């Protein structure tokens, strides 16, 4: 039990904080200015991820029968921002990496408010009073803020005050962040190994459907809005690659439910094959784009 507490209360938060710090290392003020200069790209991406994604998840859960705690877990991953892997995959797919990083960072900041609200609504909607865990919106807001916003700001500060160090450490930080992400996902699956097959049968199809539907919708909406190919690529991957580490942190550390973390872990496993398939479809041998 002590080991489990160390993992959920120390290792998981510190790992997530480092992952968000690595996002901050890639950010400069110009990325935020770019949002003001080219708001259309950002607005399309933000609406797709912050509004459409949770709505699609809720719609799927309305017709999909599953354990209430797992349903809440699906809503948690749907409410999370994109992860650091979305930035890397966007770069590899020759997408607009500046847009991807901006979406990840800014939506992570906004998730301080939106994530606790969606989680609270989901618990109230899908669970009865007897089985629903107690959740403090204020505590959840502070927890998400401390583990996402603060590390991003620290990363940006380091990049601004020590640009040479940041440039040298950025690649290493991304590798470490990716390794931590893998460790957390594998650990989450291992923690529920006795029920993982049953949970995968319940949550696997709906999380895969959510992933595929959202990537298709994001691409369609970006195309209908007349965005360029690099921007369409960035938005599609941002809507498909969610921050599974944050979902697990919210479920286990803030709510205290190991069952709720399972959909986030399963989604994190399933999103990579679809993202890699998308990558091979869109790559045309062009250099990655970073619009300023």
Which range has the worst mean pLDDT, 103-107, 159-163, 193-197?
A: 193-197
Residues whose CB is less than 8 angstroms from the CB of residue 104 and which lie 6 or more positions away in sequence, other chains included: 23, 81, 82, 83, 84, 86, 87, 238
d(CA 221, CA 216): 9
In a domain, 291, yes or no: no
Instruction: With H, G, I as helix, E, B as strand and everything else as coil, classify residue 96.
Output: strand
State how many domains the chain has.
Answer: 1
| pLDDT at site 48 | 94
Looking only at Cα atoms, what is the longest distance across the chain? 56
In a domain, 177, yes or no: yes
Report residue 8's pLDDT band, with 50, 70 and 90 as the boundaries: low
In a domain, 290, yes or no: no
Highest mean pLDDT among 214-218, 252-256, 264-268: 214-218
Indicate whether 73 pLDDT > 90.
Answer: yes
**Full DSSP string of 221-235:** HHHHTT--HHHHHHH
In a domain, 292, yes or no: no
In a domain, 174, yes or no: yes
Higher pLDDT: 51 or 139? It is 51
* pLDDT > 90 in the chain, percent: 29
Are 234 and 44 in contact by the 8 Å Cβ rule? The answer is no
Indicate whether 291 pLDDT > 60.
Answer: no
In a domain, 289, yes or no: no
In a domain, 124, yes or no: yes
In a domain, 183, yes or no: yes
Q: What's the domain range around 158?
A: 2-282
Express each pLDDT in 31-40 by its tens digit.
Answer: 677 777 778 9
| CATH code where residue 24 lies | 1.20.1530.20
| pLDDT at site 5 | 53
């Amino acid at each position: 039990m002590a080991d489990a507490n160390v993992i959920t209360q120390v290792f998981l938060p510190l790992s997530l904080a480092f992952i968000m710090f690595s996002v901050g290392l890639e950010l400069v003020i110009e990325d935020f200015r770019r949002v003001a200069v080219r708001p259309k790209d950002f607005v399309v991406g933000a609406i797709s991820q912050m509004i459409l994604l949770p709505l699609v998840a809720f719609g799927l859960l309305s017709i999909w029968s599953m354990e209430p705690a797992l349903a809440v877990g699906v809503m948690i991953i749907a409410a999370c921002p994109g992860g650091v892997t979305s930035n890397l995959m966007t770069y590899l797919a020759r997408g607009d990496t500046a847009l991807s990083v901006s979406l990840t960072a800014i939506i992570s900041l906004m998730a301080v408010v939106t994530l606790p609200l969606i989680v609270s609504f989901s618990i109230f909607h899908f669970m009865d009073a007897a089985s629903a865990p107690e959740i403090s919106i204020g505590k959840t807001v502070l927890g998400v803020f401390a583990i996402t916003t603060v590390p991003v700001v620290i990363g940006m500060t380091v990049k601004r005050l020590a640009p040479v160090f940041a440039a040298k450490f950025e690649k290493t930080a991304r590798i470490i962040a990716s390794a931590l992400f893998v460790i957390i996902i594998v650990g989450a699956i291992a923690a529920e190994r006795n029920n993982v097959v049953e949970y995968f049968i319940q949550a696997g199809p709906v999380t895969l459907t959510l992933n595929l539907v959202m990537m298709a919708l994001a691409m369609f909406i970006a195309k209908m809005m007349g965005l360029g190919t690099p921007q369409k690529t960035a938005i599609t991957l941002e809507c498909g690659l969610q921050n599974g580490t944050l979902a697990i942190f919210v479920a286990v550390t803030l709510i205290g439910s190991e069952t709720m973390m399972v959909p986030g872990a399963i989604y994190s496993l399933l999103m990579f094959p679809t993202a890699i398939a998308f990558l091979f479809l869109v790559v045309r041998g062009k250099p990655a784009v970073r619009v300023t």
